[in-house]
Amino acid sequence: MEASSKPGRTDEGNGSGPAESPRRSPGSSKSKSQASGEMAGSAVLESLNPATGELIGSVETIKPGKVQEVVDDVVQVQPFWAQLSLEDRARYMRRAADVLLEELDELAELLCREQGKPRVECFTMELLPTVDALTWIADEGPEILADERISMPQAFLKTKRSKFVYEPMGVVGVIAPWNYPWSIPFGEVAIALMAGNGVVLKPASLTPLIGERIRMLFEKAGFPEGLVRTVHGGGRVGDALVKSSAQKIFFTGSVEVGYKVGAAAAERMKGAVLELGGKDPQIVCPDADLANAVSGAVWGGFANAGQTCSGIERVYVHRDVAGPFLEGVVRETERLTVGDPLQWDTEIGPMVSGEQADLVMELVDDAIRSGAEKLTGGPVEVKGGKGRFIAPIVLTGVTHEMRIMKEEIFGPVLPVVTVASEEEALRLANDSDFGLGASVWTKDRAKGERLARRVESGMVWINDHSFSHGACQCAWGGVKDSGLGRSHSKFGFYECVNIKLVSYEPGWTRDFWWQPYDRDLGRAIQASAQLLYGRNGKRIETLREGAGSLLRVGRKTLRKGA
């Protein structure tokens, strides 16, 4: 189950299960270094700065055949953790938040240097959301995971008491991407831990140091040593984790690899939560607040250099406002600063690799050859930077026949389509194999919600885009080829537990439907159905005709015998 290259994203490089995620660039200097090490049998994975090419550090890799041993080690630790009360686990979560707050600046610098995200975005898109997530998990987790009493309103079940019990699965595997190497896996790891599980984390091969810091942070917060483990290596290591005895897999990566992960998990009768990318549309209605819609388009399209699954990759703007909208987008795009991600005023950092930059420009060039017009942007050089930088690109004249409107771009490119009506915008927005997120921009909330219900996606934001990944109480996930299952929210907790029904019967009577069967029992059941649920005015007649059978069956249940 090795991955193959796919236009727009590369399938070798973020440790995404049976193969590495498509967000890796084998053609970059970094990838070549890593690939040569693996071919030579090296046990070291080097991490390079995508902006400068400098060596940041390295981690030890693991052979695929050793992954199950790591899972087995976590299995030995997890039962102790699972025995802690929910309140005790919540206290550990708050300790983790304290440690994270102490290390914010250090972690932000590491994110800048290893992933290339601008310093401000390291705080807003990675670190602050996880501090908040830990707090929310600690506050709400005990209530979400507490035994849940089930109402038993049926008259014939009045003596019974039932509840849902949320039990830990054991070990959860998390296979992380490189584009959000901290916030995506961190939230999944934290929720799995709060649910009582142990975790084996497979960080992206492009961002292994960040993955190691996730493990270290939980250990510094006092979590049992060995409860969270990391495994490093290429796609075969991710594949081994999927095929291990880990009871659930959280995978973020390409559609192609995601299908393989889901199939491998299903063959082993276990679940997988799959977040497989997106092609998010922005629908700009004629009554939209244009200044807000312009700002949203620029941030949604170009944050993290466009390397965001839920970034805006298609804009459908009503013709009545298309002119001023495009003028505003080009104006605000050209104001963005491309440069060293360590600088506070940098807004666009490097592409993660040379090959990723090539894939983005291949899609742009193909669109231009097919009739699209580039209004601004393109490859640029940054003083002192040896990496690949792309100034954000705005395209018009694109059509759905072009590759750039079908494939995930995963770079700072914003294709804009002018439409004649909101219905046309909706039809085009749904004309995609992806369905992660979408946004509708209008001053009319009722209209926005009507359109939102008709968009085929897992999430729709009205007058905003993508923010909810930073709000752990909100579910995250898509439909169609964007994936399966949900992370975050109460539904993310439910993905990490076995939901067990526990029911109690005091035994004062026997159940009336038990053997022996006879005519009285049949008539009593018929009468009961009419008395409890009938709406045809025949209850008195039913009671008169079935009273004898009801009384005889009632006496039998009290005797507890035949």
Query: Over the stretch 151-164, which tens digit does the pLDDT of each residue have?
Result: 999 988 999 999 99
Count the residues in the chain: 562
Tokens of 493: 């907790």
Query: Over the stretch 317-368, which tens digit does the pLDDT of each residue have?
Result: 999 999 999 999 999 999 999 999 999 999 999 999 999 999 999 999 999 9
pLDDT of 29 > 60? The answer is no
Any idea what DSSP says for residue 467?
G
The Cα–Cα gap between 491 and 485 comes to 8
Any idea what DSSP says for residue 237?
H
60: which strand partners? Answer: 44
Any idea what DSSP says for residue 436?
S
Q: How confident is the model at residue 448 (pLDDT cuts 50, 70, 90)?
A: very high
Collect all residues with Cβ–Cβ distance below 8 Å to 327 and sequence separation of at least 6.
Answer: none
Q: How confident is the model at residue 562 (pLDDT cuts 50, 70, 90)?
A: low
The Cα–Cα gap between 332 and 374 comes to 15
Peptide bond into 516 cis (omega under 30): yes
Contact 71, 59 (CB under 8 A): no
Q: What's the angle, vertex CA 135, arms to CA 133 and CA 141, rounded to 5?
A: 85
CATH numbers and ranges of domains, the chain: 58-276+490-501 (3.40.605.10), 280-473 (3.40.309.10), 519-559 (no CATH)
Among 355, 348, 379, smallest CA distance to 365 is for 379
Query: Over the stretch 237-276, which tens digit does the pLDDT of each residue have?
Result: 999 999 999 999 999 999 999 999 999 999 999 999 999 9
Query: Where are the extended beta strands (E) located within 353-496?
Result: 373-380, 389-396, 413-419, 434-435, 437-441, 459-462, 479-480, 483-484
Q: What's the angle, vertex CA 229, arms to CA 225 and CA 235, rounded to 5?
A: 170
What's the pLDDT score for residue 11?
38
Query: Where are the extended beta strands (E) located within 151-216?
Result: 161-168, 171-175, 198-202
State the average pLDDT for the chain: 92
The Cα–Cα gap between 228 and 201 comes to 7
Q: Token pair 């055949």 is at which residue?
A: 65
Q: Residue 233 region, left (φ>0) first, then alpha (ψ -120 to 50), else beta?
A: left
More confident of the two residues 536 and 313: 313
pTM of the model: 0.92
**CA distances (Å), 552 to each of 157, 457, 541, 544, in order?**
19, 56, 18, 14
Helix ranges (H only) for 274-418 are 290-302, 322-334, 354-369
The Cα–Cα gap between 386 and 223 comes to 40
pLDDT of 149 > 90? The answer is yes
What's the pLDDT score for residue 561?
59
C-alpha 320: how far from its chain's center?
36
